[in-house]
Amino acid sequence: MIRYLSGGESHGPELTVIVEGFPSQLKVSKEIIDEQLKKRQQGYGRGLRMKIESDQVEITSGVRFGYTLGSPITMHVVNRDFSHWTDKMAVWDSPPESLKEIHRPRPGHADLAGAIKYDHRDIRNVLERASARNTATMVAAGALARQLLAAFNIQVTAHVVEIGSVKAQSVPRDWAELVATADASPVRTADKDAESKMMALIDEAKANGDTVGGVFEIVIQGCPIGLGSYVHPDRKLDGRLAGALMSIQAIKGVEIGLGFEAARRFGSKVHDPIAHDGSRYMRPSNGAGGLEGGVTNGEPIVLRVAMKPISTLYKPLNSVDMVTKQVEPAAVERSDYCAVPAASVVGENVAAWVIADAFLEKFGNDSMDQIRDAYNAYLERVKQR
């Protein structure tokens, strides 16, 4: 239904996103997109780059007088750091004399496989695009999607539940409190007690020239029953969410609801009994994480996403120089020590994108009025069931 293409190198002039398939008549706010972009830049454990950038979106098509037109929406996020890279990242000029090629791939990064696949001698040609800088485009697209969802009272949030070995123990059940606590936390966790331990672990990683990963949880509330489908594998919403989240840089795992824990329990301790409160079906538990058979069941969608530690280590692991074939320490590129808080912002916006796609698939994607009519008619039908 909706799709986007992005382009841009980490130290090139800008990141560009073209979103296609969005309905007309959606009132969009630049402030909401910029707010998400700003959140993505924050988080304890980020490196120096984020002091240079001040990510903001510029929209050059598809929006008129603050409303979407139904035509492609083109968004730009400028890389302020480009001013320091004009010769090294020049589009037309020849490489400068001073250019230092990168020949020692970083274990864990796309460097080695990318250099071989695309036949690059200078690994910079790989790392610039493989960089998590591009997650800004995912956030910009997702921030449009979350505005569409908000028009139908569907809300998306995320909070960090683990950094390395430190786990959040108690998380507020109330939505507003969960959002406010995570927003106020430098590591975007909703557990105040875990927060300082998480920050101490990030400090430890930094002091050792190391990095640390973690897990964040995404919660989506307000989805109607019936988004996605069970009829064909590529229409299953659980697979689409997991696929999109796994495509974010450094993500290594996605759990839905109980996730891996469900595999360790008897069925009677996993599945959620079905009840009816007189007006709607409901569940006393949510082990399914809001998805059964690849379809939303009306309960909150709960996803947990695992991020590996960032692969650029200031104390590098061994690598091989791809020109000399000598064993050498991997190249060091300025980077972060921990980007799990930032990844949680990316994750919630990516999830918003997938849910918006499924929503428009069910209710149409031409104009907001038509979608609203279809949505309200569906809710009426659901009431009769």
Give the footprint of ligand EPS on this chain (CB under 6 A).
Answer: 10, 47, 49, 81, 127, 131-133, 135-136, 249, 310, 312, 334-336
Contact (Cβ atoms closer than 8 angstroms) between residue 2 and residue 22: yes
- State the nearest-atom distance from the C-beta of 155 to ligand EPS, in Å: 25
Distance CA 292, CA 223 (A): 13
Residue 371, both tokens: 């979608």
Strand partners, 275: 282
Q: Which residues contact 55 (CB under 8 A, 6 or more apart)?
A: 34, 37, 38, 40, 41, 77, 136
State which residue, 214 or 228, has the beta carbon closest to ligand EPS: 214
Contact (Cβ atoms closer than 8 angstroms) between residue 235 and residue 294: yes
What is the four-CA torsion angle of 94, 100, 104, 110, rounded to 10 degrees? -50
State which residue, 20 or 101, has the beta carbon closest to ligand EPS: 101
Amino acid (one-letter) located at 130: A
State which residue, 49 or 240, has the beta carbon closest to ligand EPS: 49
Residue 136, both tokens: 């800004």
State which residue, 45 or 287, has the beta carbon closest to ligand EPS: 45
- State the nearest-atom distance from the C-beta of 47 to ligand EPS, in Å: 5
- Give the residue from 188, 241, 183 showing the smallest Cα distance to 358: 241
DSSP 92-141: SSPPPTT-----SPPTTSSHHHHHHHTT-SSTHHHHHHHSGGGHHHHHHH
Place of tokens 């060091």: 332
Residue 262, both tokens: 């469900």
- State the nearest-atom distance from the C-beta of 145 to ligand EPS, in Å: 20
State which residue, 109 or 362, has the beta carbon closest to ligand EPS: 109
- State the nearest-atom distance from the C-beta of 212 to ligand EPS, in Å: 14
State which residue, 6 or 131, has the beta carbon closest to ligand EPS: 131
Q: If you compute the radius of gyration of the chain from its CA atoms, what whole number of angstroms results? A: 22
- State the nearest-atom distance from the C-beta of 90 to ligand EPS, in Å: 17
Phi, psi of 63 (to 5 degrees): -130, 135
- State the nearest-atom distance from the C-beta of 202 to ligand EPS, in Å: 15
State which residue, 197 or 308, has the beta carbon closest to ligand EPS: 308
DSSP 283-297: -S--TTTTEETTEE-
- State the nearest-atom distance from the C-beta of 104 to ligand EPS, in Å: 15
- State the nearest-atom distance from the C-beta of 135 to ligand EPS, in Å: 6
Distance CA 320, CA 324 (A): 8
| Nearest-CB residue for ligand EPS | 49
State which residue, 242 or 310, has the beta carbon closest to ligand EPS: 310
Place of tokens 């919403």: 237
State which residue, 39 or 133, has the beta carbon closest to ligand EPS: 133
- State the nearest-atom distance from the C-beta of 371 to ligand EPS, in Å: 33
